[in-house]
Amino acid sequence: MSRIGRAAANAATTLSVVRRLAVRRPTRRPGPAYDGNLTAAIAAARGPALRAHLEGELAVLTPPPLPSLPPLVEEGRGTRPVSKPAVLHLVTNSLPETVAGYTIRTHGIAVAQRHHGVDAHVVTRLGFPVTKGHIDAEAVAEADGVPYHRLLAPVPLRADRARARDIARTAHLVQRLRPDVLHAHSNHLNAQVALAVGRRFGIPVVYEVRGFLEETWVSRGHSTDAESYRLTRAAEAWAMRHADAVVTLSESMREAIVARGIDPAKVRVTPNAVSDSLLSDAGWSSRAEGRGPYRDHNEPAGGLDTLAGARYSTSRDSRFTVGTVGTLNHYEGLDLLLDAAARVVAGGTQVRVLIVGDGPARADLERQAGRLGLDATFTGRVGPSQVADHHRRLDVFCVPRRDLPVTRLVPPLKPVEAMALGRPVIASDLPPLRELVTHGHTGLVVAPDDVEALATAIGTLARRADARHQLGEHAREFVRTHRTWTAVHHTLIDLYASLTEGALHV
Q: How far is it, in rounded angstroms, from Cα 280 to Cα 393?
A: 18
The alpha-carbon radius of gyration of the chain (Å, integer) is 24
pTM listed for this prediction: 0.85
Provide the pLDDT for residue 311: 30
Burial class, 366, CB count within 10 angstroms (exposed 0-12 / middle 13-18 / buried 19+) = middle
Q: Which amino acid is at 446?
A: V
Q: How far is it, in rounded angstroms, from Cα 128 to Cα 312?
A: 49
**What are the phi and psi torsion angles at 179 (to 5°)?**
-70, 150
Provide the pLDDT for residue 314: 33
Q: How far is it, in rounded angstroms, from Cα 408 to Cα 311?
A: 36
Confidence of residue 277 (pLDDT cuts 50, 70, 90): confident
Maximum mean pLDDT: which of 29-33, 96-100, 390-394: 390-394
Over the stretch 25-66, which tens digit does the pLDDT of each residue have? 333 344 455 578 889 889 988 888 889 989 999 999 988 766
Residue 77, pLDDT > 80, answer: no
Over the stretch 417-457, which tens digit does the pLDDT of each residue have? 999 999 999 999 999 999 999 999 999 999 999 999 999 99
Q: How far is it, in rounded angstroms, from Cα 372 to Cα 370?
A: 5
Q: At what angle do helices 101-115 and 485-499 cross, to 10 degrees?
A: 70
Q: How far is it, in rounded angstroms, from Cα 246 to Cα 269?
A: 9
Provide the pLDDT for residue 167: 96
Confidence of residue 471 (pLDDT cuts 50, 70, 90): very high
In order, the DSSP letters of 429-492 are: S-HHHHTT--BTTTEEEE-TT-HHHHHHHHHHHHH-HHHHHHHHHHHHHHHHHH-BHHHHHHHH
Domains of the chain by start residue, with CATH: 86-273+485-499 (3.40.50.2000), 276-482 (3.40.50.2000)
Over the stretch 118-133, which tens digit does the pLDDT of each residue have? 999 999 999 999 999 9
Over the stretch 229-265, which tens digit does the pLDDT of each residue have? 999 999 999 999 999 999 999 999 999 999 999 999 9
Provide the pLDDT for residue 295: 35
